[in-house]
Amino acid sequence: MAETTVISFVKAYTGYIILGLLLLRFLGNRFRRGLSGIPGPKLASYTALWKLYSVWKGDHHNTEIHLHRKYGPLVRIGPNHVSVGDPKAIPMIYGLNKGFTKTAFYPIQCISWNKQPQMNLFSSRDEQYHRDQKKSVANAYSMTSLLDLEPAVDSCTEIFLSQLHRFADSKTPVDLGMWMQYYAFDVVGEFTFSKKLGFLQEGRDVDDMIKAIEGMLVYASLCGQVPELHPFLLGNPLFPILMPSMETWNQVLQFTLKAVNSRASLQRDGELEEGHKDGGKDMLSRWMAIHEKDPEKLSTRDVIVHLSTNVFAGSDTTAIAMRAILYLLLRHPEKMAKVRDEIDRADREGKLSNFISYRESLTDLPYVGAVIKEAMRLHPSVGLILERHVPKQGVTLCGKHIPGGTVVGINAWVIHHDANVFPDPDSFIPERWIESSEERLKIMEQSYFVFGSGSRTCIGKNISLMEMYKVIPQLLREFDITLHNPKEGWKTRNVWFVQQEGLICDLVPRRR
């Protein structure tokens, strides 16, 4: 009888019980030890739904800038999440051997292959794995190694310019932002496989790779706010078993496998060009050589993962930076004029090759370098905090003790728009990188967070820098570029990477 009464009670009051448990959970979140005194949006302290909604809107980077200007260097953006806006915290959070580890946000961005999630240098939370893998592949990303492949970059530039001349000759507006992404894809293809991916030649999204990457970024940015849902969504371990075709959805992985298989087939048939056999300089050749010498050091799985990560991460971020550089110059004609004058002067003095080399740009075009740096400061490619777990003993950040286990991180958009570091932070002022005092320049450099910091600094940063330093001055030497609809601004959307659209331009060839 008593048992029946209890069951009846539970049935009658289930809704109230659930509501009560949720209320307790929300209150527990709100008054979490060590975090309840950190300011931020009230709702954010109760539930991760505030952060999820903010990211879903696609403008979270600007929201965080506003919050830090309102509340100061520490802002609570989730029940257990704190956004840090003090550049002095960079070496504390991201420095070597500081004990801050990556969070569950990152493994969501790994590939699935052979029915298993395959971690890469970016997604792995295992520091030992990261060290071992980075040691094996890092040399391929050094500027010295990349300069060996500079002629391959020039071959991409040649096709790029040829395609743009078609638009210029027919006086047809061109989506220069999209073509920059095509360019970035083909350059990554040359560095990775000694093979263009076909974007420039065909003038389209080959194998829907751009579309696939966009879908992956949207999923990662949203699910990354509530990563505990990932095992029930695309991270469900039953999915690859129940739907074996699921792995074919990843066009980047499929292209990588196709490229590797093609290279292996040519090698077996003896048709591979001499430079691509032993001692090839592209990443596939370098890493396969390591694999053949010591398969345990770099397995087939490792090679596939590193190659596909290159294609996934190397195109979007670089294209975003190049769009920002060009758009900001087009919006500031006086800066564009200074860039043109510098390029033309160096050209007249015979300092520039037919295809401007990386070294020439670095040495003879200092204002171009300042423009590139300033554009990436104003519009970093990554638009969310780079999350880390506070070590168990806790840490003091900005004068406040943060308990162990708290998720903290820095958003490049926040510190790059800090007036204490970058006076007049919302303005495009390339001169700040040339005319500032040594002391100010040192502070700005230490606060520059475009490629992250510490051992997890973006391993592909040299690829991006080489592309930008070469192609931007080349474009501006070749064409007069104007916005097709100057009264319309571009549109941006933060899906982990802050993507842009609307860079529609008119091109007029310049006389040289």
What is the predicted pLDDT for the residue at 318?
94
* Residues 442-499 pLDDT 10s: 999 999 999 999 888 999 999 999 999 999 999 999 999 999 999 998 999 999 999 9
Task: Name the average pLDDT for the chain.
Answer: 89
User: Parallel, antiparallel, or unpaired for β 81-84 and 407-409?
Assistant: parallel
**Of residues 274 and 31, which shows the higher confidence score?**
31
Separation between Cα atoms, residue 55 and residue 218, nearest integer Å: 10
What is the predicted pLDDT for the residue at 276?
45
- Strand-pairing partners, residue 113, are 116
What are the C-alpha distances in Å from 512 to residues 219, 361, 437, 477? 47, 18, 37, 8
Separation between Cα atoms, residue 247 and residue 112, nearest integer Å: 6
The pLDDT-based confidence of 225 (bands split at 50, 70, 90) is very high
Of 20-29, 65-74, 79-88, where does mean pLDDT reach its minimum?
Answer: 20-29
What is the predicted pLDDT for the residue at 130?
86
What is the predicted pLDDT for the residue at 412?
98
Separation between Cα atoms, residue 369 and residue 469, nearest integer Å: 7
What is the predicted pLDDT for the residue at 472?
98
Q: Which fold has domain 31-509?
A: Cytochrome p450 (1.10.630)
Q: Give pTM, 2 decimals.
A: 0.91
What mean pLDDT comes out for the span 208-222?
90
What mean pLDDT comes out for the span 363-387?
97
Q: Which long-range contacts (CB under 8 A, 24 or more apart) does 181-185 make?
A: 181/210, 181/315, 181/316, 181/319, 183/156, 183/157, 183/319, 183/322, 183/467, 183/471, 184/314, 184/315, 184/316, 184/318, 184/319, 184/322, 184/467, 185/209, 185/210, 185/311, 185/315
What is the predicted pLDDT for the residue at 2?
56
Residue 453, Cβ neighbours under 10 Å: how many?
19
**Of residues 255 and 376, which shows the higher confidence score?**
376
* Residues 134-190 pLDDT 10s: 888 999 999 999 999 999 999 999 999 999 999 999 999 999 999 999 999 999 999
